Structure 1
Amino acid sequence: MGILFDYLKEMAATKNTYDYNIDEMQLVDEVRRTIKELNEAEIYFHNVTDPDLVDYAIYRLESLKRKYIYLIKKAKKEGINFDNFSSLLS
């Protein structure tokens, strides 16, 4: 998980969560869910042995990474930043 965590950490910026309005909070929650799904998908990828499921795991990881990048770009465009990246993982 180290490489993925570092990658996601680089994509995050800064702002306090209590400054968000309802729409921004929904976006922050979606980022949190996506991070959780990414972590789960990476664990699945490292534990799967069937070749067909390895392909599935790769596609799942790639799609979630793209979703995360989209959400971060959208958040930055709307002025939403994350000051404590590790708080998103909880």
Structure 2
Amino acid sequence: MKTTLTNFFSTLLHKDMPATKCPPLREQLEQARHEWLSAQNYYNNVSDADLIDYATYHIQAAEKKYIYLLKRARHEGLRSSPFH
């Protein structure tokens, strides 16, 4: 009974959702690297104290994302990336 209900609700939740495909890992890495560099550039050009805090968190988040994708790429055997 529980499995049937789970399948039913799963079908309802995903019925109208379009199938989206993630970009290849290389593209994700390139985008994450660009986001990280952009966040660093923003930090270097901001002067308001509140925005400096935001910029700092943005850099940290972008860096974590990039590092995660690098680890994933290494785990999947992707070794020819120019980003490490």
TM-score tier after normalising by the smaller chain length: 0.5 to 0.7
Q: Structure 1: any 5+ residue segments left out of the alignment?
A: 1-22
Find 1:44's aligned residue among 37, 42, 45. 42
What TM-score does the superposition give when structure 1 sets the normalisation length?
0.63
Matches within 5 A, 1:1-90: 26-82=24-80, 84-85=82-83
What's the Cα RMSD here?
Answer: 2.0
What TM-score does the superposition give when structure 2 sets the normalisation length?
0.68
Q: Kindly indicate whether structure 1 or structure 2 has the higher relative contact order, using CA contacts under 8 Å at least 6 residues apart.
A: 1
**Alignment partners' CA distance in 2, 1:84 and 1:72:** 11
**Alignment partners' CA distance in 2, 1:26 and 1:35:** 14
Higher gyration radius (CA): 2
| Cα deviation 1:38-83 (Å, max 9, x = unaligned) | 1111110000000000000000000011101100110101000125
**Alignment partners' CA distance in 2, 1:75 and 1:47:** 32
Structure 1 ranges of 4+ moved more than 2 A: 82-86
**Alignment partners' CA distance in 2, 1:47 and 1:79:** 37
SS at match of 2:79: coil
Query: How many equivalent residue pairs?
Result: 63
**Alignment partners' CA distance in 1, 2:70 and 2:83:** 12
The alignment-based identity, stated in percent, is: 37
